[in-house]
Chain A
Amino acid sequence: MDSTTKPPLFQDTTPDALHVRARIEAFNADYANAIDSDRLEEWPRFFTEDGVYRVITRENRERGLPLSLIYATGRGMLSDRITALRTANIFEPHVYCHQISATKLIGRDGNGWRAESNFAVFRTLISGPMIVFVCGRYVDRLVEGDGHLLLAERNCVLDSRQVDTLLVIPV
């Protein structure tokens, strides 16, 4: 898991840092757009080849418990999630609407950056009901890919321990 050192109170606002932050915000918009538009097959490509994805509750994380709801290491496991969703798993069809905000550039981390962003995801079932499905924070490590950023690690930390019904579309 990522470093738990305290983030700086104020983030770097030099033009270079703001530029990085803007790129991360653009990245998150692309990420949300792909998922919310049901282009889920593209989702693994937001990660590095061995990128790590976790959906973990805040409770587990703060208690130092390693368990995630979803834990994938590498694009293979990420794409398996999508293949299973398309071909095997049964659920009422639904869509997400991601709201991602308050992106904070924590700092450099080796060859990449650490950043955190808040998210809220509305879930709309095909039968109509709409709820705030999850909200929480992306705790990310991003690296330079081929002309754009990629996730070396994304931890989706859910504020609530409760998942309504099931979790199949990635957060």
Chain B
Amino acid sequence: MDTPAFHQGGDTALGFEWPGEDVSRVPFQVYTDHAIYDAEQQRIFQGPTWNLLCVEAEIPNPGDYRTSYVGNAPVIVNRDETGQINALLNRCAHKGSLVCYKPHGNVRELTCVYHNWVYDLTGKLTGVAFKRGVGGKGGLTEDFDPSQHGLRRLRVETYKGIVFGTFSDETPPFVDYIGGELAACIDRVMIKPLKVLGYHSQILPNNWKLYSENTKDSYHASLLHVFHNTFGIVRPSMGGGIKLSPSGWHHLSWTERVALDDQSTTREKVRSLKDQYKLADPSMMAHKLELGDLVTNSIQSVFPGTVIQQIQNCLAVRQLVPRGVDRSELFWTILGFEDDDAEMIEHRLKTNNLVGPAGFISMEDGCVGGWVQHAAQSDPASRTVMPMGGRTIEPSQGSRVTESAVRGFWKAWRECMHV
């Protein structure tokens, strides 16, 4: 893989320089610095990146809308009369109020309640209250051009029922952005029209990047989340690996049921392998093969904050929203297929016990980021070290004991941030 060409000499406006040459060492400052946080909003979330907005099934009819976020920017996603999906900055062009303050609904047009400016579903300003004033006094002057005062539009692309948005004109088309190999991985999971089974939201007491890194950190999976091992659901014949986009920005980590030659799970090193425990009711662990293969887990990231997940029969998309330098909100949208029967829905609802804020194999991700955040504050000049699998950003077949994808995250971060 090419060595990335980073801007040299740091960024004077930001006052931050990347220490060292590669991305296997990360200064704690990036998790605690307010100037970096602000710059990330512009350069990453509103920069050349695709961000999860929603799934199409949430806005099936003309006039349907829901609110969402791109970074800390509030966004409205709607379907207009022509069937087109629009994504608009949820900020009135007049004085900046939220235009939609309810999370979802069906409307003919978008009305800001503050002074009643009205926009059509594409964001065009169509009405200004009292524009001719009252009794010939007040109102707009002739030089006011409504076409210059619409809601800011995002570019939108829908891929396999998942809706992405970008503020930037420079973002390549979505499939080019993530690359053909990873696009095919979305194809693999999203094989039919989707249905939303419900939502979770989780407040993470940490900088957003700590969660983004965590999703790409396949090294921690069996070490921190010991649910499978504890209950003797040890699966030595598990294959898998890491796929990376050509850019290194996006990844997929997967496991599948195939025989491996070596018993490489280093069982004695895995904390608390307590085979004496058994699940009293293992029904949620059943895996109904529905995707035509034996892949049990597939965790796919789209830089900066999107995760597309298949854990057995639990399908979900996750959206990471920064809420300040040391706080984030993680939105889970749990999915099924439109043609699921009652039994399949019931099964998916049970498998959901594995994930979300109360998930048997995910809850730890809610607190580890906070522990890093807490400790990082004391010494922002120090660095993390990510040596697993070397210093390069390369895919891995057969092993997930690598920090390659995390280094890929930092490559993306540096390229967007120009540091």
A: residues with CB less than 8 A from B are: 55-57, 59-60, 63, 65-77, 79-80, 83-84, 87-92, 161-168
Whether B198 lies near A89 (C-beta < 8 A) is no
Whether B230 lies near A84 (C-beta < 8 A) is yes
Alpha-carbon distance between A9 and B352 when the two chains are bound, in angstroms? 36
| A75 proximity list for chain B (CB < 8 A) | 280
Whether B281 lies near A77 (C-beta < 8 A) is yes
B: residues with CB less than 8 A from A are: 103, 196-205, 224, 226-227, 229-231, 272, 274, 277, 279-281, 283-284, 329, 334, 345, 349-350, 352-353, 356-358, 360, 363-364, 366-368, 370
- Of A60, A72, A88, most B-chain CB atoms within 10 Å: A88
- Residue from the list B329, B352, B360, B366 in contact with A84, Cβ < 8 A: B360
| A60 proximity list for chain B (CB < 8 A) | 198-199
Alpha-carbon distance between A163 and B284 when the two chains are bound, in angstroms? 23
Whether A165 lies near B203 (C-beta < 8 A) is yes
Whether B345 lies near A87 (C-beta < 8 A) is no
- Residue from the list B277, B281, B364 in contact with A76, Cβ < 8 A: B281
- Per CB-CB distance, the 7 closest pairs between chain A and chain B, nearest first, are A67-B198, A76-B281, A76-B280, A166-B366, A65-B198, A88-B230, A163-B357
What are 18 of the A-B contact pairs (CB < 8 Å)?
A57-B199, A69-B356, A69-B357, A71-B352, A74-B281, A76-B279, A77-B281, A77-B283, A83-B280, A88-B229, A88-B230, A89-B363, A91-B363, A161-B201, A165-B357, A165-B370, A166-B358, A166-B363
- Residue from the list A57, A67, A79, A161 in contact with B280, Cβ < 8 A: A79
Closest to B205 in A: A165
Whether A90 lies near B357 (C-beta < 8 A) is no
| A68 proximity list for chain B (CB < 8 A) | 198, 349, 352
Given A80-B280, A84-B230, A162-B329, check contact A67 B334 (CB 8 Å). Answer: yes
Closest to A163 in B: B357
- Of A56, A77, A83, A89, most B-chain CB atoms within 10 Å: A89
